Every structure is written in structure tokens, then in C-alpha cells.
Amino acid sequence: MTTISKRMCVLLLACSTMAVSGCGSSGSSAVDTTALQKGAVVQGPVIGATVFADNVVGGTRFVKDTGEITAPLTGTGGSYFLPSFPSYDFILVSSGGTDTITSQPALLLLAPSGSAHITPLTTLVALDTTKKVQAKLEAMMGNASFDTNVSTNSSEAILLLIKSTEAAVQSIRDAVQLAAGAAGVTLTTTQINYIQSQAWQQIALTFAGTTQNLATPAGLDAALTTAITGAIANINGANTNITISSTSAAAIAHGSVNAALSALGSAATYTSATALATSGVRAEGSLANVAGAYQGALTANKTSLSVVIIGDTPNAYAPPPIQVVSTTSATIILIKTGASGGTGSVGIGIIW
């Protein structure tokens, strides 16, 4: 038996022992809360959000179904805590709430199970079926983990990427909601989450495959334009009663990148080919006028988007594929790949 195999056996035995005897003294059944899912929801810190462990085998993706373990609404700093560890395969979902830095309604955010935080970065990693975007994001953070509190521990390059993508996703969501209101149509949570998840995944897949330097405003703008174009095409194709003009994609990307640059205190624009710092720490809370810049971008972006809605929408809800993590305990996870509820184990990962 190899050294690695021996270590794995010890870990498995330890987990089995913990499951049988509990974590308290004298074989009590006390729960070791340090092993449960807890962390923070961060767009900026998001308060009042519903965090739940979304069952990837049953129910509706990214919508809280009966029986799915749910945390109390997020509190100060976006903190959350699942009251028990799920016995089913899941991803973490944050829905609703308010971004305390921009004062905007928070976006749909996701994270692989086992993640501490739920952020735009964990959302991109969760929706990247190519498994390439994580390395790119971490390289832009001085090799820090993608699973970090990005509001307090980000590089300038990552903050540019985060705030630009947030503005783009929210612009699409808000424009569709405004058009629905004008048409007298009420969108369900499922429909709204579909629109956001399509935008997030197209950004994730584009960033994973692009040859653009995402640390530069010009490279990020080009990749974001491609991603938004793809997201609009997917939304239009899946919803015959929604029509979004694809000619708006470039304008949304330009406005989103420029707003993020403004928040960073940079005089550069989306055409700059100069890379921002990928090392060092810049806290989102220290940004100049981030709320004002973000609000300005949203207003301009929604104005540039041409959305037409007729009748009920959408016809059917088809969530994008996700990386599936089959959780066997709070310590050991079995990584699987495929569409929602997919199969095919490729290895075992340890969460410390």
C-alpha cells in the first residue's frame, strides 16, 4: 500500500469514527460545528440573503426546494451558517439580500460544496464545466485561493474583474425585469435565476477559454463583450417571448469596465492594455465611490439594452450544466463532473 493510500485510509477511518462517536467527550453525539458549512456571502458583504444547499439531483436548480438545508438570513459581513451538513449532493446558493457596499439587490451567487465563501469568483468556478477558470482567477490574485473573502482580500486586477462582471450580470437581469414590468408580466424567482445563471456561465466559460489578458481593461472588455453576446443569444433562444438586442453587448461591457476602473480610482478606460496589479491586497470597502460608479454603470447599461417581452416567459427552465460535488461527509468529498446531477467520479479531494 502506498503512503498516499495509507493516509487516505487513516482519513476515512477517522471520518467513520467521528460519524459513529460524535465529536464530544465520552462518545456524545455533539455536532462539531467547525466542520459544517459556514462563511460569508460577498458581492460586497450581502445581508438578508437566503443561503441553502441546493440538491443537484432533485428539485429545481438554484431555487430553494422543500427539504433543502437552509441557513438563517445572512447577517453582518454576509455571514451564514448551515444548521446541519447535507446528506445529499449539493452546491451552495445565495439568493436575494442586499450588497451593503453598492446598496443594490444582490445577485444570484453560487459556490461548490465545501467552499467557505459565496462570491462572484466561486460562482464562476462552480459554473465552469471546463475546470480552467479557477487557475486563471487565482493567478490574478497572487495565487491566493478563489475561495476567499474578496471584499477584504483581492488584488486590483480581481476587483476590476469582479465589479465589471457584477455590473454586466445585474444590467441584464434588471433590464429584463423592467421590460417585464412594462409588459405587465411578473417573472418568477426561477425565471430570474435562469437569466442570471445564463449570464454567469457564459462569463465563466468565456474567461476559461479566452486568450485575452483579463488583468488588462482591454482584455477584460473584449472577453466580457463575447460573454454577454453569448448570454443574450442563450436567453433569446430559450425564451421565445424574450428578445434582447445583441448589439448592446459591447456597450454593456464598456460601461461595466469603466465603472469598475472609476471605483478603483483609475483614469484608464476599457481601451487600456496596461495590466492592473495581480499581487498585493486591496479591500473593496476602500474603493473610491464604488456605489456611485456602479449605479452609474447600471443606469447606462439598462438604457442601452433593448428588451422586448410579450406574454408569459420563459417557456421552460433549463439550468446550465454545473460541476457536481458528491459530499460523503464534512471532511471528504468525491468530485464528479457532468450536467446537473451528473456522474462519473474522477478523484477524492480533502477539505481542511
Confidence of residue 330 (pLDDT cuts 50, 70, 90): very low
Confidence of residue 201 (pLDDT cuts 50, 70, 90): very high
Say yes or no to pLDDT of 335 above 50: no
Decide if 104 contacts 295 (C-beta within 8 A): yes
Place of cell 450536467: 339
User: Which pLDDT belongs to residue 291?
Assistant: 59
Cis-peptide, bond into residue 314, ω within 30° of zero: yes
Place of cell 437569466: 195
Averaged pLDDT for residues 309-322: 51
User: Which pLDDT belongs to residue 265?
Assistant: 82
Q: What is the mean pLDDT of the chain?
A: 76
Bridge partner list, 99: 46
Place of cell 503512503: 3
What pLDDT digit, counting tens, does each position of 223-241 carry?
A: 999 999 999 888 888 777 7
Say yes or no to pLDDT of 176 above 90: no
Residue 20 CB-density burial (10 A; 0-12 exposed, 13-18 middle, 19+ buried): exposed
User: Which pLDDT belongs to residue 307?
Assistant: 63
What are the DSSP calls for 204-265, one per residue? HHHHHH--S-TTSHHHHHHHHHHHHHHHHHHHHHH-TTEEE-GGGHHHHHHHHHHHHHHHTT
User: Which pLDDT belongs to residue 280?
Assistant: 78
Whole-angstrom distance, CA of residue 226 vs CA of residue 164: 14
